[in-house]
Amino acid sequence: MEFKPVFLLIEDNLIDQLVIKQLIRKSLDIEVNITNNGREGLLWLHDHENLNQSVIILLDIQMPIMNGLDFLEEFDKLSEKFKKEIQIYVLSSTLDPDEIKRINENNYVTEFLNKPLQIEDFIKKIHL
């Protein structure tokens, strides 16, 4: 049996949600879980802390309620064992140099990706 990671998309834009979900499902045949902001993403992670599977997160930065940078601050509070199984890719259209610097300096961010998602490049980067 093939051991696939779990995908979590934390994104507030409905069109981006639909497009990214379809790209990942078609390319990798993996189901994509979607939350609309950082707070929902953290709740999803808390609910799935005993998954025993790796989790790949695609995280938007600019979202209502809890943005991606605030999510990363709260993510730090999760158990070390659980965090080791998680890869975070920030997927954003931000051009703000301060945001990009904060993202690139964050220890939990595997890589910063620009929107729109280039699925072929993304597949080469992720650790399946």
Residue partners of 8: CB distance under 8 A and separation at least 6: 32, 33, 34, 35, 41, 44, 45, 55, 56, 57, 58
Q: Determine the pLDDT at residue 1.
A: 40
- Parallel, antiparallel, or unpaired for β 6-10 and 32-35? parallel
The residues, ordered by sequence, that sit 6+ positions from 82 with a Cβ below 8 Å of its Cβ are 45, 49
User: pLDDT tens digits, residue range 60-96?
Assistant: 999 999 999 999 999 999 888 889 889 999 999 888 9
- Output the pTM of the full model: 0.92
Q: Give me the mean pLDDT over the 35-61 stretch.
A: 93
Is it true that the peptide bond before 116 is cis, omega within 30 degrees of 0? yes
End-to-end, the C-alpha distance of the chain in Å comes to 14
In terms of CATH architecture, what is 6-56+73-87+99-125? 3-Layer(aba) Sandwich (3.40)
